[in-house]
């Protein structure tokens, strides 16, 4: 990864613009979006539909080719719900699509390209309608979905469980387990007595976390100049 050549003040301006975008364009699209969110490239985060509730210290990382998408397409106007707990992390390319109800607990982490849905969206023999049966999805606290995981309708994943990369979850997963495969199966049981360090602990004092990151930026970017930064964008080979 190339060195960040932005001067400190340029990065601070960028962060203010990103925060303003979140406040003016993303927050109104949510039923609620609690404080201390960290949404990186918020213009690459798509939120649509009613009844989307997001807890505190929410982190989402959007990318132009891999946006984060959170959407409710209810059976009727105003129906359908997504509830996202506190301290949740959504990586680039994550899609959460609810017909009826998706509940995501505190401290859940989703790696690149995960897909979570509570519906097939069409029945096998009538491709014009959904099944009348509702099949909510629940990800309990501290669940970790690896790269490219798919979680399908009617599934509950127990707290602290880990789903390995590229797995497809089609049935309930008990707590404190590691699962893998298509369909996902238990490959290991975790020892809950060893305890877990969660994102909730990392963000127990959000102001201190933000101050720490700001101090790191101030130190790392302090010697960068505006001219060299501009040169790196228009003529990057000159810096080799």
Cα–Cα distances (Å) from 118 to 83, 98, 104, 140, in that order, read 13, 6, 12, 15
For residues 101 and 57, state if they share a domain.
yes
Tell me the pTM: 0.94
Residues 207, 210: Cα–Cα separation, whole Å: 5
For residues 64 and 179, state if they share a domain.
yes
Q: What backbone torsions phi and psi does residue 158 show, to the nearest 5 degrees? A: -70, 160
The model's pLDDT over 197-233, given as tens digits with 9 standing for 90+, comes to 999 999 999 999 999 999 999 999 999 999 989 998 8
Proportion of the chain above pLDDT 90, given as a percent: 93
For residues 23 and 40, state if they share a domain.
no
For residues 127 and 21, state if they share a domain.
no
pLDDT given for residue 240 in this prediction: 64
For residues 110 and 134, state if they share a domain.
yes
The model's pLDDT over 151-189, given as tens digits with 9 standing for 90+, comes to 999 999 999 999 999 999 999 999 999 999 999 999 999
For residues 69 and 176, state if they share a domain.
yes
For residues 221 and 180, state if they share a domain.
no
Mean pLDDT of all residues belonging to the chain: 96
If pLDDT is split at 50, 70 and 90, which confidence band does 2 have?
confident
Could you tell me the residue range of the domain that residue 18 belongs to?
Answer: 1-30+205-240
Catalytic residues: 122
């Amino acid at each position: 990864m190339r060195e960040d050549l932005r001067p400190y003040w340029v990065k601070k301006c960028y962060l203010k613009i990103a925060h303003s975008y979140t406040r003016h364009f993303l927050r109104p699209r949510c039923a609620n979006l609690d404080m201390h969110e960290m949404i990186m490239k918020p213009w690459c985060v798509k939120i649509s539909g009613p009844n989307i509730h997001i807890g505190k210290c929410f982190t989402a990382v959007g990318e132009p080719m891999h946006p984060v998408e959170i959407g409710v397409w209810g059976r009727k106007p105003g129906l359908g719900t997504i509830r996202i707990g506190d301290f949740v992390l959504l990586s680039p390319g994550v899609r959460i699509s609810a017909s009826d109800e998706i509940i995501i607990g505190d401290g859940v982490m989703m790696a690149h390209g995960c897909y979570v849905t509570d519906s097939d969206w069409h029945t096998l023999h009538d491709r014009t309608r959904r099944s009348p049966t509702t099949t909510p999805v629940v990800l309990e606290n501290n669940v970790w979905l690896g790269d490219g995981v798919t979680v399908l309708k009617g599934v509950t994943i127990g707290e602290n469980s880990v789903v390995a990369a590229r797995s497809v979850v089609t049935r309930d997963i008990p707590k404190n387990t590691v699962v893998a495969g298509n369909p996902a199966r238990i490959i290991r049981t975790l020892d809950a007595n060893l305890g877990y360090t969660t994102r909730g602990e990392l963000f127990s004092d959000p102001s201190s976390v933000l101050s720490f990151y700001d101090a790191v930026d101030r130190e790392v970017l302090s010697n960068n100049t505006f001219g060299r930064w501009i040169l790196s964008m228009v003529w990057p080979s000159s810096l080799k």
